[in-house]
Amino acid sequence: MLLAIDVGNTNITLGLYEGKSLKGHFRLTTKIPRTSDEYGTMISDLIERQGMKVSGITGVIIASVVPGVMHSLTSSIVKYFKQEPLIVGPGTKTGIKVATKNPREIGSDRIVDAVAAYELYGGPVLVLDYGTATTYDLVTKEGHFVAGITAPGIRISANALSEGAAKLPEIEIVKPDSILAQDTVTSMQAGLMYGQIGQTEYIIKQVKKESGYDDLKVVATGGLGRTIYDETDMIDEYNMDLTLEGLRIIYDKNRQ
């Protein structure tokens, strides 16, 4: 089995693959400092609770945008799983050519998403990831990563409102029934959710206009991606496991 690990700014997402089949996935909080033993015992326990054996892990791949956790995490993989993990970074075979001005600036998570979207849906494709940040990444028909747009994520925006304005509370991030809000909480929810939908539609429209790709496929992922997908007809596909799929694809390319 392959253990695929995506280290994001908010969560560490782990997936267990048997061939191309995702057999289980689970999450840990990124921001809690942990030792290698804590990572090792927690991940081992979660795998066992999925009804699988730690001894069945034959490969591990990691993509991370949080350097501070990598020493403890990689040490735990070596110690508890007896595997040397493949770390996605410069030199890793991906099948995607990064054709931006500074390829090393592109986060590994965005590369992984781009690989999955291109392999699963073809190009040209625009990949939307609704995570800590909301990102929009363009991959051409030839598999070239040519542009990326980065905006504050919905949760970051919500936190900024409640922390920056004394009278604005912390809120649940849901879309209200109407944009015509009549109280503080729903007015914040309306601004955040309808604003995100509007931003999404405008950016997709502008990318199509400037790239000339009228046949552009639009694929979304990320925790709040489903909500936005349900509210617009400009997103073609939603794939909750896009990043894990990308990790599996990259692992297979490098193993071959």
The answer to whether 77 touches 85, Cβ cutoff 8 Å, is yes
Q: How far apart are CA 219 and CA 114, in angstroms?
A: 10
Q: Which amino acid is at 242?
A: L
Q: Where are the alpha helices (DSSP H) in the chain?
A: 36-49, 70-81, 108-121, 154-164, 184-211, 225-230, 242-255
Active site (annotated) includes residue 45: no
Residues linked to residue 136 through DSSP beta bridges, in sequence order? 128, 149
How is residue 69 annotated by DSSP? G
Distance CA 59, CA 135 (A): 29
Is residue 105 helix, strand or coil? helix
β-strands 2-7, 59-64: how paired? parallel
How close are the terminal C-alpha atoms of the chain, in Å?
A: 16
Instruction: Please pick, among 6, 45, 109, 215, the residue that the annotation labels catalytic.
Output: 109
Strands 97-98 and 133-139: unpaired
* Two structure tokens written together for 188: 């914040």
Residues annotated as part of the active site:
109
